[in-house]
Chain A
């Protein structure tokens, strides 16, 4: 849990820049009566964006695209884990069936 000022200090980001990241919803801290509160995930997100901007020289416009693609990638991975967990919880016969179907999916076109 960190405040706006903590984040500026720890990650050495510009106040205006951080504000714009929040406005564009690239970083989504929780708004409380004591001001913005950054969770661990938000902190890690700030660190990532800072690195993309400053170290990897990704410009503002490209950054929106990179973040969007990353978010889709993580959403897909999370989805895949959900599916994986669901499959793991199935009886062995069902899992065997799914495995067979997936390995057939490698070459779906031959009879």
Chain B
């Protein structure tokens, strides 16, 4: 046997209190009955227990500390841990599966294992999956061909106005039923990808549209993308950055034909390069028409 102090990870000659403390810590960590699947645990626990056994005999410990004896002792009878019985037939004395797996017995395969005498009939399992779809497919609806986990290809209809996180059910496409039990369902959760231009808020769509200085000052028609194509939007004279215009009924379709709206927020964009003519004009103009924009800030 190895040096028992070393096995317990304490200093040589440590007092019985420290030995006991170290043993408790290791025993909790390695007790084989608390770790039924760990084959290393038993070896480690036995070594730790033997070291503790050896040192907990005060007389023996004193002799060993003085170097009068070594750590070899007579080996004890092979110990059989509870775990070696627990999973055998005798284990059921302490854990009746009928008690612990009552909920499993709804599936008839387990009902049979546990001696249940119910008819072999059960609904098939439900299958859960996620499907990533484009923003516009969610808004306008689409039909997607998808492959189910069992390899079956089916057409999935995504209704207009679908939302992120919405679950679509394919009834009877899940696991097969037992006996004359019905098949389970496939539940598909939609993950809607964001759109580079459109943002959705409930039934409404929001987007930002850049306009030139001329369009903002003088007003005019600009082409604006919506979820169902380009439309012509009238920009009023003197429109500003942040001006919000409504395109009625261009939002997300809802059941019953009650669509949301599309809100366009204008963003005035100056020419890319500073223009001397424009600068001269604005200089002269602003001298004659001063106005303040930060008063309320």
Residues of A within 8 A of B (CB): 28, 39-42, 44-45, 47-48, 51, 55-57, 70-79, 81-82, 104, 108-111
Contact = CB atoms under 8 A, between A and B. Distances in A.
Contact of B27 (A40, A56, A71, A81): A56
A44 B146 contact: no
Given A44-B80, A47-B82, A111 B131 contact: yes
B84 interface: yes
Contacts of B86: 41, 74, 77-78
B18 to A, nearest CB: 15
A76 B91 CA distance: 12
6 contacts: A41-B85, A41-B86, A44-B82, A55-B27, A74-B86, A108-B149
Interface stretch (B32-40, B134-142, B215-223): B32-40
B94 A74 contact: yes
A55 B31 CA distance: 11
B91 A74 contact: yes
B198 interface: no
A59 to B, nearest CB: 14
A75 B101 CA distance: 9
Interface residues of B, number: 41
Contacts of B24: 55-57
Contacts of B23: 55
B172 to A, nearest CB: 18
Given A48-B33, A74-B87, A74-B95, 7 more contacts: A56-B24, A57-B24, A72-B100, A73-B36, A78-B87, A78-B97, A82-B113
Interface of B: 23-24, 27-28, 31, 33-34, 36-37, 79-88, 90-97, 100-101, 113, 127-131, 146-149, 188-189
B93 A41 contact: yes
A78 B83 CA distance: 11
Nearest to A30: B93
Chain B: interface secondary structure? Answer: mixed
B262 to A, nearest CB: 31
Given A40-B80, A71-B100, A75-B100, A110 B36 contact: no
Contact of A77 (B37, B80, B127): B37
Nearest to B110: A79
Nearest to B131: A111
A29 to B, nearest CB: 10
A77 B188 CA distance: 32
B95 A72 contact: yes
Nearest to A27: B94
A90 B121 CA distance: 21
Nearest to A44: B82
Contact of A71 (B79, B95, B131, B189): B95
Contacts of B147: 111
A22 to B, nearest CB: 13
